[in-house]
């Protein structure tokens, strides 16, 4: 008994500090994909049409509500209030549009339902509404999933070696340069990727997501690329008619700015999922599919995790099992984390800090000096 008759409680041992920048292992994992899959409850792999539609309907209701309020009530607000109301609308509607994009992405993996025709129909409508060519992205994204972490064959945010950096890279390796890089990435990054395959691997010719005969696609995929292009052209023409009927300002305010918010979130989410100081990239001598799939990181976007249907914090599980629907992916993530151990990477750093840090630290990749595994490369920033 301690003084005053109280029981003295020994201090609890301190938990070891979690360091999100600690490198994940790059050796071949001591587990297999089959072992990981067996640990996941079977119901996590089941897709339920009604449940999937419930999320879509919820998002549609919110988007319609935001649109109704903005178009019916904002014009009658006192003079100064629209300058506050419209940015709120842009942010909220942009987040819901991003949720649309996440569901369309799920359709591309056939994680929405058991029926590919239904997934392709829903995905095509949602992505086309956001001026994204659904089938084009579906096929290039499939290549990304098949080659994640490969310096030669991955399809998005493929880091460069130091020797491949452009002459102007050193001029951007400072706070002002990073601010400009962030600004360009978040505003123009998505259309530049679709048009010119920026951040993708080099091809013998221009790799454009709108080109049915581009090097990204095979002969049997070309017809669907035409369908994607026709859809985007139809939405573009509809926007043109809206401009004639409502005016440029109306279309930009109601649709254009929220679309810019979507594009910014897409680039930021994807960049932060695949760019982290702790993640390795592999040349063909070392790359294998499982190690590549594990070279991703889960992030925390706070309340936006749920708004974006958890695509932000279930990315590791998604790369391992892309047909798991988002409403089961968090459960699957919790189950596989003990199995993956140090191979699982999560970083809860606020995203506005993380994107600045990653732009600063992750400039190019090189193997460690004296490392026998020359095919394993890590991010560096010294120019």
Whether the per-residue pLDDT at 13 is higher than 50: the answer is no
Token readout for 128 is: 């086309």
Which residues does 134 contact at the CB level (< 8 Å), separation at least 6? 104, 108, 120, 123, 124, 126, 127, 128, 228, 231
Token readout for 176 is: 């002002």
Which residues does 363 contact at the CB level (< 8 Å), separation at least 6? 165, 169, 173, 379, 380, 381, 383
> How would residue 171 be classed by pLDDT, with cut points 50, 70 and 90?
confident
Please work out, in degrees rounded to the nearest 5, the angle formed at the alpha carbon of residue 221 by the alpha carbons of 216 and 226: 95
| Mean pLDDT score, 256-272 | 97
Q: For residue 5, what pLDDT is reported?
A: 42
* 3-state SS track over the chain: CCHHHCCCCCCCCCCCCCCCCCCCCCCCCCCCHHHHHHHCCHHHHCCCHHHHHHHHHHHHHHHHHHHHHHHHHHHHCCCCCHHHHHHHHHHHHHHHHHHHHHHHHHHHCCCCCCCHHHHHHHHHHHHHHCCCCHHHHHHHHHHHHHCCCECCCCCCCCCCEHHHCCCCHHHHCCHHHHHHHHHHHHHHHHHHHHHHCCCCCCCCCCCCCCCCCCCCCCHHHHHHHHHHHHHHHHHHHHHHHHHHHHCHHHHHHHHHHHHHHHHHHHHHHHHHHHCCCCCCEECCCCCCHHHHHCCCCEECCCCHHHHCCCCCCCHHHHHHCCCCCHHHHHHHHHHHHHHHHHHCCEECCCHHHHHHHHHHHCCEEECCCCCCCCCEEEEECCC
The pLDDT tens digits for 123-145 are 999 999 999 999 999 999 999 99
Mean pLDDT lowest for which of 18-27, 131-140, 266-275, 343-352? 18-27
Q: For residue 369, what pLDDT is reported?
A: 80
Higher pLDDT, 15 or 306: 306
The domain ranges of the chain are 33-380
> How would residue 201 be classed by pLDDT, with cut points 50, 70 and 90?
confident
| Mean pLDDT, rounded, of the chain | 93
Token readout for 375 is: 């095919």
Which residues does 180 contact at the CB level (< 8 Å), separation at least 6? 172
Whether the per-residue pLDDT at 347 is higher than 90: the answer is yes
The pLDDT tens digits for 313-342 are 999 999 999 999 999 999 999 999 999 999
Whether the per-residue pLDDT at 280 is higher than 90: the answer is yes
The pLDDT tens digits for 74-133 are 999 998 999 999 999 999 999 999 999 999 999 999 999 999 999 999 999 999 999 999
Q: What count of residues does the chain have?
A: 383
């Amino acid at each position: 008994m301690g003084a005053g008759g109280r029981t003295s409680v020994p201090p609890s041992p301190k938990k070891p500090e979690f360091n999100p920048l600690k490198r994940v292992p790059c050796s071949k994992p001591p587990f297999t994909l089959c072992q990981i899959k067996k640990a996941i409850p079977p119901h996590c792999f089941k897709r339920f049409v009604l449940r999937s539609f419930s999320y879509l309907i919820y998002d549609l209701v919110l988007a319609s509500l935001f649109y109704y309020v903005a178009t019916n009530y904002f014009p009658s607000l006192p003079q100064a209030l629209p300058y506050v109301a419209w940015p709120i609308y842009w942010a909220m509607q942009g987040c819901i549009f991003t949720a649309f994009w996440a569901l369309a992405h799920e359709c591309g993996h056939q994680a929405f339902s058991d029926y590919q025709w239904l997934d392709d129909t829903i995905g095509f409508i949602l992505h086309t509404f956001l001026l994204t060519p659904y089938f084009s992205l579906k096929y290039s994204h499939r290549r990304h999933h098949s080659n994640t972490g490969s310096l030669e064959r991955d399809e998005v945010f493929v880091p460069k070696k130091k020797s491949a950096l452009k002459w102007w890279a050193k001029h951007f390796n400072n706070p002002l340069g990073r601010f400009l890089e962030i600004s360009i990435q978040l505003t123009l990054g998505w259309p530049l990727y679709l048009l010119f395959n920026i951040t993708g691997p080099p091809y013998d010719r221009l790799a454009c997501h709108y080109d049915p005969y581009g090097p990204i696609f095979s002969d049997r995929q070309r017809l669907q690329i035409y369908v994607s292009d026709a859809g985007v052209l139809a939405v573009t023409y509809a926007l043109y008619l809206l401009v004639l009927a409502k005016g440029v300002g109306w279309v930009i305010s109601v649709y254009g700015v929220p679309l810019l918010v979507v594009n910014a979130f897409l680039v930021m989410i994807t960049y932060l999922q695949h760019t982290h100081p702790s993640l390795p990239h592999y040349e063909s001598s070392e790359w294998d599919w499982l190690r590549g799939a594990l070279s991703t990181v889960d992030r925390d976007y706070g309340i936006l995790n749920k708004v974006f249907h958890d695509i932000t914090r279930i990315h590791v599980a998604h790369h391992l099992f892309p047909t798991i629907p988002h409403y089961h992916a968090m459960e699957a993530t919790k189950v596989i984390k003990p199995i993956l151990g140090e191979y699982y990477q999560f970083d809860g750093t606020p995203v506005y800090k993380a994107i600045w840090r990653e732009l600063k630290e992750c400039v190019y990749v090189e193997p460690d000096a004296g490392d026998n595994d020359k095919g394993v490369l890590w991010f560096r920033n010294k120019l």
